[in-house]
């Protein structure tokens, strides 16, 4: 087929590829690829289960262009589809898994490589540009399995998928009748020795039939990669997998090739996703032949699907181009199904989408506890709650808190909390009194003063004038008080801005990546999937933002707003140069977008700060998000939005964006605590609005902490050793954070080992990449540790890093 587009030759469905592929195989190889176990009842059941599904259309839903992106194990996939593990792609094409990897990379979709691949892990990795996972069979000789895992990890594979349903291979009658043998010269490229000509005979002698759940701990002991288990068909086994600590579950009956008579995967999917309850990703394979099948699996709780035999069919028909076209085809079918069912995003797929003909296995009824004392207690299904509660980004801080609690003796570089040694509780009363005196001096009556403390107060805030005064004196930013909304911390400010500015699926929120998890969390709560604009090693570059804007417009979407922390960013610590700030404002004007500026660390960083984007803004392109948690004190939970943009209604009347945000706030928190505002106001009055003056000592403290951290890193990693290990870090000029690149995968498993064995805690940088990335970097926070704790902690961290095996980079 060469480079010709396969669709041009009449291949328009996955079934077309299957029919065309038949002629490419001899009878024995075709039966090996296509057959199942026993009478092939389970093989047929997989297909029949999807044939029974009916998707319910939704009309006039206003959903716009469907967003097929999903996130699995911290990696963003363009569609919820990956290539399932299958042995010997070389039966379909001489290039085998290398060709499949290139095609999957063109689609941006992962490939699960079989232990019995016909091409080496290294050659597959060289061909790949999307994630690779290794499917693992555990052999009686564990040393063989260890070597395979270590070799794949060195090659850059990102996860292990342990096949748990094959203590021996199922009785495959077609292979027995054909006395199937691999073609001469075809062997598993990553195994040495042994007789592999008969797959079933080799499995009988080499697979470990005594495998139990302890194998999960064993795999974690030899590798830092996440571990998924493939072959789960019951809620009981799913719960056992969670207890064993797996990172993911694949609902699979081995394509009908193991126990004949086992249920179809789709028929048990709902009960398994209910049992898992969002604790880890759930994937499913078996019988998927259409994009509508993918959507049905998502509706029943799957995070993604694995596509098996159709990939080999396409590989046999058209090589790399055939597989690329097949993946494009099923993704297009998925988009069509989502559009016609009014499903705006992958997270929006739920049980209501799926109807079934009479005789189909229904989804399990809600489980209830045994009645006790006349009461019936309902048990909610997590799968039926909003998709955000299962999103990994909402679990990241909880996981860090859990690790910190579990290892209290460890030194933690994870929390970004301010140092509280400068605070005196008596000051709260002084600040409160100062504000009350201010109100009286302004002519407020005793009743008005009392109301200012004890009543809700205006939704937009009662200290807007003082915040506007502070912005003018500290930042040279002239804004009217009525353009400010006082919020419950900066997190509410983000929520209000995203809710107001992103009106539907066609609107795009762009974020500088890596980015603060608060913005991705707020977006997720609002069913907004942010588009990541990857920072370079030197930081943000306008050319990358412009490319992202043009790409989104080419998809028929409207880039609306770009979120960035220009000063001492959380998590990376980078600061945007002045010229880049000017270029960003020019780009925003040219492309008609807004900028969400979030800079909480400016006033607590030493030295002269660059001007804010808002102070440079001449066209009201910047919506500034402010936080007084770092600048004054975190317990106040007071933030603000500067939203001075003009809003015009259908009748031509004009107002401020701040007014619209206030309407949303009135239905969210109603108002920001009057007492908190009063204490903050007293602090601003005490400093004559100049928080920079108020924070001189604080900024010096944080600057010293950063300096000591950088000095200790340089001491622990001399230049030559740093180069040999592949360790490097940036050198922020302020803020709380810096980024450290390490020579291994810095994931949750590595974090737990670091805390448990070395007594030091850090944050994986992968938490901060909405579309995946940062797997070989950690974030260090230096804000509240003493100099001695920093020195001890960096020493422990260095010991941990030097103890880890080096792994391949993405």
The token pair that represents 39 in the structure block: 């009478």
- Euclidean distance between CA atoms 155 and 775, whole angstroms: 14
Q: Please give the sequence-ordered ranges of beta strands (E in DSSP) within 643-792, or none if there are none.
A: 646-648, 654-656, 728-729, 737-741, 760-761, 763-764, 777-781
* Residue 771: partners with Cβ closer than 8 Å, 6 or more residues away: 69, 76, 513, 531, 532, 534
- Euclidean distance between CA atoms 270 and 358, whole angstroms: 18
- Euclidean distance between CA atoms 253 and 286, whole angstroms: 7
Per the CB < 8 A criterion, the answer to whether 118 and 186 are in contact is yes
* Residue 559: partners with Cβ closer than 8 Å, 6 or more residues away: 508, 510, 531, 548, 549, 552, 553, 591, 593
Whole-angstrom Cα Rg for the chain? 29
Measure CA 429 to chain center.
Answer: 43
Longest dimension (CA), the chain: 99
Other Cβ atoms within 10 Å of 27 Cβ, number: 11
* Residue 764: partners with Cβ closer than 8 Å, 6 or more residues away: 746, 747, 748, 750, 751, 774, 775, 777, 778, 779
Give the Cα-Cα-Cα angle 578, 643, 451 (nearest 5 degrees).
Answer: 130
Query: Residue 563: enclosing H or E segment and its boundaries?
Result: strand 558-564
Measure CA 217 to chain center.
Answer: 25
- Euclidean distance between CA atoms 62 and 154, whole angstroms: 47
Please say if 254 is a catalytic residue. Answer: yes
Report the Cα–Cα distance between both ends of the chain, in Å, rounded: 31
- Euclidean distance between CA atoms 337 and 68, whole angstroms: 11
- Euclidean distance between CA atoms 546 and 343, whole angstroms: 29
Find the catalytic residue in 89, 254, 313, 568.
254
Per the CB < 8 A criterion, the answer to whether 314 and 308 are in contact is no
Q: Which residues are known to be catalytic? A: 254
């Amino acid at each position: 087929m060469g480079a010709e587009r396969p669709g041009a030759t009449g291949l328009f469905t996955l079934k077309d590829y299957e029919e065309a592929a038949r002629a490419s195989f001899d009878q024995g190889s075709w039966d090996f690829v296509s057959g199942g176990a026993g009478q092939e009842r389970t093989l047929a059941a997989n297909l029949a289960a999807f044939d029974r599904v009916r998707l319910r259309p939704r009309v006039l839903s206003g959903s716009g262009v469907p967003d097929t992106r999903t996130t699995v194990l911290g990696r963003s996939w363009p569609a919820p589809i990956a290539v399932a593990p299958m042995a010997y792609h070389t039966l379909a094409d001489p290039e085998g898994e290398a060709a499949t990897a290139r095609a999957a990379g063109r689609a941006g979709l992962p490939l699960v490589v079989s232990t019995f691949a016909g091409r080496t892990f290294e050659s597959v990795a060289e061909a790949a540009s999307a994630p690779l996972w290794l499917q693992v069979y555990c052999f009686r000789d564990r040393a063989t399995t260890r070597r395979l895992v270590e070799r794949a990890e060195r090659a850059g594979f990102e996860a292990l998928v342990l096949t748990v349903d094959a203590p021996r291979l199922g009785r495959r009658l077609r292979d027995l009748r054909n006395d199937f043998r691999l073609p001469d010269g075809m062997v598993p490229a990553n195994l040495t020795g042994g007789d592999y000509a008969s797959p079933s005979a080799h499995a009988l002698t080499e697979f470990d039939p005594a495998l139990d759940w302890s194998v999960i701990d064993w795999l974690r002991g030899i590798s830092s990669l996440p571990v998924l288990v493939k072959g789960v068909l019951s809620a009981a086994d799913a719960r056992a997998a969670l207890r064993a600590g797996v990172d993911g579950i694949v609902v699979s009956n081995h394509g009908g090739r193991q126990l004949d008579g086992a249920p179809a995967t789709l028929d048990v999917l709902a009960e398994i996703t209910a049992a898992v309850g969002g604790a880890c990703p759930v994937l499913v394979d078996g019988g998927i032949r259409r994009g509508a099948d993918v959507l049905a699996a998502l509706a029943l709780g799957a995070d993604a699907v694995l596509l098996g035999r159709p990939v080999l069919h396409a590989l046999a028909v058209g090589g790399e181009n055939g597989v690329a076209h097949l993946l494009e085809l099923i993704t297009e079918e998925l988009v069509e199904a989502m559009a016609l069912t009014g499903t705006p995003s992958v997270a929006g797929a739920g049980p209501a989408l799926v109807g079934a003909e009479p005789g189909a296995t229904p989804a399990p009824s809600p489980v209830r506890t045994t009645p006790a004392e006349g009461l019936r207690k309902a048990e909610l299904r997590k799968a039926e709650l909003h998709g955000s509660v299962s999103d990994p980004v909402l679990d990241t801080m909880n996981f860090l808190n859990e690790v910190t609690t579990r290892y209290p003796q460890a030194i933690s570089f994870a929390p970004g909390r301010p140092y509280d040694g400068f605070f005196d509780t008596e000051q709260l009363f002084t600040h409160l009194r100062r504000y009350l005196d201010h109100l009286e001096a302004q002519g407020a009556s005793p009743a008005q003063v009392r109301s200012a403390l004890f009543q809700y107060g205006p939704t937009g805030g009662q200290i807007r004038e003082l915040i506007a005064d502070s912005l003018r004196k500290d930042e040279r930013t002239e804004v009217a008080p009525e353009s400010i909304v006082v919020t419950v911390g900066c997190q509410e400010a983000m929520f209000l801005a995203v809710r107001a500015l992103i009106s539907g699926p066609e609107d795009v929120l762009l974020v500088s990546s890596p980015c603060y998890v608060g913005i991705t969390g707020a977006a997720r709560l609002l069913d907004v999937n942010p588009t990541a604009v990857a920072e370079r090693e030197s930081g943000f570059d306008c050319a990358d933002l412009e490319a992202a804007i043009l790409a989104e417009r080419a998809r028929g979407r409207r880039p609306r707003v770009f979120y960035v922390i220009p000063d001492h960013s959380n998590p990376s610590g980078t600061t945007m140069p002045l010229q880049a700030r000017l270029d960003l404002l020019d780009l925003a004007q040219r492309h008609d977008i807004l900028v969400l500026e979030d800079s909480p660390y400016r006033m607590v960083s030493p030295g002269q700060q660059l001007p804010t984007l808002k102070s440079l803004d001449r066209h009201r392109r910047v919506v500034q998000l402010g936080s007084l948690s770092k600048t004054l004190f975190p317990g106040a939970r007071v933030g603000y939005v500067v939203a001075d943009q003009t809003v015009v209604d259908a009748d031509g009347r004009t107002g401020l964006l701040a007014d619209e945000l206030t309407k949303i706030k009135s239905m969210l928190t109603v108002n920001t605590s009057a007492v908190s505002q009063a204490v903050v106001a007293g602090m601003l009055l005490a400093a004559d609005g100049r928080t920079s003056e108020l924070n001189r000592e604080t900024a010096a403290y944080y600057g010293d902490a950063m300096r000591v951290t950088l000095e200790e890193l340089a001491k622990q990693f001399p230049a030559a050793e740093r180069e040999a290990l592949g360790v490097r870090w940036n050198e922020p000029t302020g803020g709380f954070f810096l980024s450290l690149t390490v020579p291994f995968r810095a994931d949750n498993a590595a974090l737990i080992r670091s805390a448990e064995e070395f007594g030091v805690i850090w944050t994986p940088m992968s938490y901060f990449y909405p579309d995946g990335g940062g797997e070989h970097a950690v974030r260090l926070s230096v804000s509240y540790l003493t100099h001695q704790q920093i020195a001890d902690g960096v020493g422990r961290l260095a010991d941990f890093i030097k103890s880890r095996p080096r792994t391949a980079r993405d």
